[in-house]
Structure 1
């Protein structure tokens, strides 16, 4: 977004029950100002001469109309495709939906549907980003597995010395770390650009790859710093809790440290899960983004945890369905079958590696935007619930008088 008003960091956040932008003339129960404005008893106007008074009994509005400032909005369900409330009946009109999600608090299905709908409608922008990143990462991974991991025999060679075995292990681990670093960089670039595409999809506008890159580029270094800060923090946390048991050569103490590290790591993971979209869309710094994520997640940790874990499970199943059949076929056809699987040569055969790499490219191309999209839409949902972001987004989308008495 180009510094649109919808994504700016708000001032003091209202509570979940407060809705910014509500009309000032809307009656509030128990409000002394409202009650003082009512006419004193006995001063209600009478019908003018010649005017027929209304018949006794409850009055119904004309068909297609409603009472009060929302006249003409309730009961007109034809234009909303059969929304509850037929002609002449009460029925709440649906929220505005300029883009892939309605501008109101979202449910689980709407968040997942919004992520998938953006992939379908904006695939020309999303597909090149994820395909390029997935291809680069998998090419490097295939080369690493072929030339670095192939030197590690499944069964130690009786003639190999301890130094040679350690050197082979160090080389293989170094190659894996390098591939992981490249994958992390690719994920950062993809996340930054996909965040911009999803933010425009919420407003119903499209974004090209070049436009997404221009909008994401100023925040890339900060996103890089945020990602590595979280990664280093996770490593230090796990190390600090497990290392005492390792140094004391006590498996039980190390196990206890691991059991403590797992829930603490999970809690921090969810607590800071919205830091990335906060940093990119609010143009904030690393530590401000961490604070914003903590504030938005507060009080809804379990809900965000459930949605995030469910998304991880769904994308993991999709990846497995795509990758594993190709991997098994590659190992059976090009890796020497069962004998190759037994001696470890099947996994490093060119045919098996290429088929597995193709499956991984397809899976990452599909999964990456879903994960990024769910995170962005969770951020949008939390700001709608806590800060009335739907009003700002409606104005940014060009919807006039949204959230007022006449809108």
Structure 2
């Protein structure tokens, strides 16, 4: 087993069709139609009584045998919840999560606990990335964005359709630089924070230099994955809305709406299916396509659960950004008199440098908090799915040195290669 990234080779999992390395409960001795080894001469029912001690008092019940109530297999194909034996102790928790299938609250708590436990490494990367991204975004807004398209309220239906198409194109052009900056920021935060979280699960310290050294060799592959997934979404969307745009009539508007709706549904389905590709790429050292296949395999039969966790995380991060951004936005508009005056007059406000700088500070603070939570939830979802399907909890417990989980296999110790 590797220290990190990656705790077990992806090919050793039952989801890959190889279940020899995953511990399983032993079969009953008399299963498979084998003849029972119990004697035919059994004592009559109700005749058994507990053994007595030398003084005639009942002897205490024997304690559990060695290994009774010890660590049990919590994963495996189709496993969807904790598997505690009768009287079994709580799951081991060497790091930020208990080593068993996780609930959504535990996933979110693990992401926040990682931020608290490794705040120096986490905030170092998130603050730097957020500041650089926000400066780039401010410069783009100030100097590169085209002027908004003027909409004529008295235009005919065909002219209104053309204006709507021009407005959509202008919005896409305006959004593209921000999306590019966001993707680059996400690239670095995902790479480094995934490594930090993989150490946090094992309860091991990690510095920013350690995380960067582990993540740097995987950046080219992660960049390819980060670019490929949005391109897939864009291609699906264009296929959905393309026929309606080509028709360009009232019927084309309806066709564009229907095709766009279907394209969005398909894109969301695919993005959730590939949502665990980034941690698979980083922690298992997979290629781009292999990591996407790996994610699809882990999400199989758990799409709605993964979607629910990701949707709740997105909602929470949006609310956090809103709570932080609104006060800074109000202050920015109050300081920038031109922007506030334009807003009150109903015209398009012209925001100056004060507004962009103050609102940018709020965006940096919000990003520094929400980046680690989003990356942490994705990485912990990956860990959770492997625990449920592949008994990764046993491998993690061995790697963390938890007593009672057996010796590590040769070459797969906590510090092995």
Bin of the TM-score, shorter chain as denominator length: 0.7 to 0.9
CA distance in 2, matches of 1:19, 1:388: 10
User: How far apart are 1:71 and its partner, in Å?
Assistant: 6.7
Match of 1:389 in 2: 392
User: Alignment partner for residue 140 of structure 1, among 136, 140, 144?
Assistant: 136
User: How far apart are 1:351 and its partner, in Å?
Assistant: 1.4
User: Alignment partner for residue 93 of structure 2, among 90, 94, 97?
Assistant: 97
Confirm or deny that 1:130 pairs with 2:126. Answer: yes
User: RMSD in angstroms over aligned alpha carbons?
Assistant: 3.6
TM-score, normalised relative to structure 1: 0.79
Confirm or deny that 1:9 pairs with 2:25. Answer: no
Match of 2:226 in 1: 227
CA contact (8 A) 2:148 2:170 kept: no
CA distance in 1, matches of 2:399, 2:284: 15
User: How far apart are 1:187 and its partner, in Å?
Assistant: 1.1
Q: In terms of mean alpha carbon deviation, does 384-393 or 90-99 score higher?
A: 90-99
CA contact (8 A) 1:5 1:392 kept: no
Structure 1: runs of 5+ lacking an equivalent: 45-50, 74-89, 157-168
Match of 2:160 in 1: none
Q: In terms of mean alpha carbon deviation, does 321-330 or 99-108 score higher?
A: 321-330
Instruction: Report SS of the residue matched to 2:11.
Output: coil
Match of 1:66 in 2: 64
Match of 1:200 in 2: 199
User: Alignment partner for residue 353 of structure 2, among 330, 340, 350?
Assistant: 350
Match of 2:210 in 1: 211
User: How far apart are 1:384 and its partner, in Å?
Assistant: 0.3
CA contact (8 A) 2:192 2:211 kept: yes
Structure 2: runs of 5+ lacking an equivalent: 44-51, 72-85, 153-167, 408-417
Instruction: Report SS of the residue matched to 1:98.
Output: coil
Instruction: Report SS of the residue matched to 2:255.
Output: helix
CA distance in 2, matches of 1:312, 1:358: 21
User: How far apart are 1:343 and its partner, in Å?
Assistant: 6.5
Task: Note the alpha carbon deviations across 1:126-165, whole angstroms, 9 max, x for none.
Answer: 0010000000011111122223348558789xxxxxxxxx
TM-score, normalised relative to structure 2: 0.78
Task: Note the alpha carbon deviations across 1:339-392, whole angstroms, 9 max, x for none.
Answer: 222376755222111110000000000000000000000000000000000011
Instruction: Report SS of the residue matched to 2:14.
Output: coil
Instruction: Report SS of the residue matched to 1:348.
Output: coil
User: How far apart are 1:400 and its partner, in Å?
Assistant: 3.9
Task: Note the alpha carbon deviations across 1:159-198, whole angstroms, 9 max, x for none.
Answer: xxxxxxxxxx999976753343232112101100100000
Change (3 A) 1:154 1:284: same
CA contact (8 A) 1:337 1:346 kept: yes
User: How far apart are 1:281 and its partner, in Å?
Assistant: 0.3
Match of 1:324 in 2: 326
CA distance in 1, matches of 2:4, 2:340: 58
User: How far apart are 1:68 and its partner, in Å?
Assistant: 6.7
Aligned residue-pair number: 366
CA distance in 2, matches of 1:392, 1:331: 54
CA contact (8 A) 2:277 2:294 kept: yes
CA contact (8 A) 2:69 2:89 kept: no
Match of 1:360 in 2: 363
Match of 2:28 in 1: 28
CA contact (8 A) 1:332 1:338 kept: yes
User: How far apart are 1:229 and its partner, in Å?
Assistant: 1.1
User: Alignment partner for residue 380 of structure 1, among 366, 373, 383?
Assistant: 383
CA contact (8 A) 2:146 2:170 kept: no
Confirm or deny that 1:315 pairs with 2:317. Answer: yes
1:232-311 mapped onto 2 (5 Å cutoff):
232-249=231-248, 250-311=252-313
Q: Which has the higher contact order (CA 8 A, sep 6+)?
A: 2
CA distance in 2, matches of 1:175, 1:197: 34
Change (3 A) 1:292 1:220: same
Match of 1:160 in 2: none
CA distance in 1, matches of 2:53, 2:60: 17
CA distance in 2, matches of 1:55, 1:21: 44
CA contact (8 A) 1:96 1:394 kept: yes
CA contact (8 A) 1:150 1:348 kept: no
